[in-house]
Amino acid sequence: MICGDDDQFGSLRLWLRDGVDVYISPDDVVHFVFLSTRKRLRLKVTPLLIECLEWLDGSASVMELDARYEAQASRLGSKHPSSFVDFIQYLYGKGILVRKDWMHNAFCPEQVERYSRQLNFFLDIEESETAATALLKRIMNCRIALIGIGAVGSWILRELVQIGFQRIILVDPKTLKPADHTRNAIFDHRLIGEPKALVAERFVHSQALEPETRAIQSPLDIETNVEELIGADTDLIINTADEPYIGATSIKLSRYCVEKGLPLLVAGGFDAHLASLSEMIVPGQTPCSDCYAIHFEETLRGWKPISHPIVDRRRGFGGLPSLSAFAASAAVLKIVRLLSENGGDIEQGRGEFLFDEYSIDSFKVERNPECPTCGDFERLQARAD
């Protein structure tokens, strides 16, 4: 029976979340299986409560269902110690039930139309309507600087825009070339010769609901003033610029990001390997690019590679669009995890997808307390404050 403070809850129309499978065993144990995370919850309940699970389709309020439950219990002459409302409240708290209109309360109809399935995925991960809503809003409001719109950057851009990022600073000094046909996700043969930053900007405007972009046709090099290049309003930087070398551009950006307390995602480009899983650098939490450089300098000490007879090998590196798509997808997943409350570790270390057997080779790199860039991050932050 619902009364007093419970009135508000009683008026909710709840339904069993789409992303949860429900199994019932003969001994009246209900198994809730969360499809996206494979998490499980088992509850031993009465047969009548099991029956009422099928009523939870959002067509009636909790109060109405409670009345139906009482009537059913009375018809069966059941002495029902379990409270229907307590059961429903428990399932609601566990993210198994949701309000029928939860998306519409937070987003306009066009946004709900576009993102409803993604919001359902976020609900599976975040386990509450509020957190799922907040995650999509963080995505929509986050201002990203994407440096490099090539074999990995362009695929990242496509996915970012698909999942709702719309404030994007696009940096690339080059024009679209015929050979981009085999690697660039926004390639259009009619636009060969146009600056990639402008092609990318046009793409964002053709797709995003409320686009806000800046296209910058300049390179990132050792002399570049990062803030002058991308502005001071960036929330996250993605680096896929592999000229002169991804390690060099990343160290430059990483030092800037540590100073500003900004996250940096380094994607693609490692050893010309397009299926890198990317590295998320969060100042104060993860190793920075200098930590990685020190780590590899120490790990590879004693290795003596001979110099390759071909001096400029960049044109000789192979790649497949499907590997670009894999690398970009892994990178975008890291960004989603970074912005989510419940999405697992921010950084699982450096890793590569190996094409031969579709295996993933990854390893952990720890923050280096002696790192000249982020070793004394707290002091650096205090000075910045």
Question: Closest CB to another protein among 97 and 216?
Answer: 97
Q: By C-beta, is 130 or 182 nearer to another protein?
A: 182
Q: Taking the CA of residue 351 as centre, how many other CA atoms within 13 Å lie in the half-sphere pointing to its CB?
A: 19
Shortest separation between residue 143's beta carbon and another protein, angstroms: 20
Helix ranges (H only) for the chain are 7-10, 47-53, 62-75, 84-93, 109-126, 129-141, 153-163, 196-207, 226-230, 246-260, 289-299, 321-339, 377-384
Complex with another protein: residue 34 or 377, whichever CB lies closer: 34
Closest to another protein by CB, 78 or 182: 182
Pairing type for strands 29-34 and 57-61 reads: unpaired
Quick one: how far is CA 242 from the chain centroid?
A: 23
Q: What distance in Å separates the CA atoms of residue 148 and residue 240, rounded to the nearest whole number?
A: 5
Least Å distance, CB 335 to another protein, is 9
- 171: tokens are 């940096």
Cα 273 to Cα 270: distance, rounded to the nearest angstrom: 5
For the bound state, the minimum distance from the C-beta of residue 306 to another protein, rounded and expressed in Å, comes to 13
Q: What are phi and psi of 134, to 5 degrees?
A: -60, -35
Nearer CB in complex with another protein: 35/229: 35
Q: DSSP label at 343? A: S
Decide whether 79 or 190 has the Cβ nearer to another protein: 190
Q: Which is nearer to another protein, 200 or 216 (CB)?
A: 200
Exposed, middle or buried by CB within 10 Å (0-12, 13-18, 19+), for 15? Answer: middle
End-to-end Cα, the chain, rounded Å = 54
As measured in angstroms, the least distance from the Cβ of 149 to another protein is 15
The least CB distance from residue 214 to another protein, in Å, is: 21
Between the alpha carbon of residue 242 and those of residues 108, 147, 174, 205, the distances in Å are: 40, 10, 13, 26
Residue keyed to tokens 């290795």: 303
Closest contact distance (angstroms) between CB of 348 and another protein is 6
Note the Cα 273 to chain centre separation in Å.
Answer: 22
Q: Which is nearer to another protein, 162 or 381 (CB)?
A: 162
Taking the least distance from each CB to another protein, the nearer of 139 and 258 is 139
User: Which of these, 194, 214, 191, lies nearest to 204 by C-alpha position?
Assistant: 214
How far apart are the C-alpha atoms of 365 and 262, rounded to whole Å? 20
Smallest gap from residue 344 Cβ to another protein (A): 4
Closest CB 87 distance from another protein, rounded Å: 15
Contact 217, 197 (CB under 8 A): yes
For another protein, which is the closer residue by CB, 292 or 326? 326
Q: How far is the CB of 231 from another protein (least distance, A)?
A: 26
Q: Are 332 and 156 in contact (CB under 8 A)?
A: yes
Distance between CA atoms of 362 and 140, rounded to whole angstroms?
A: 31
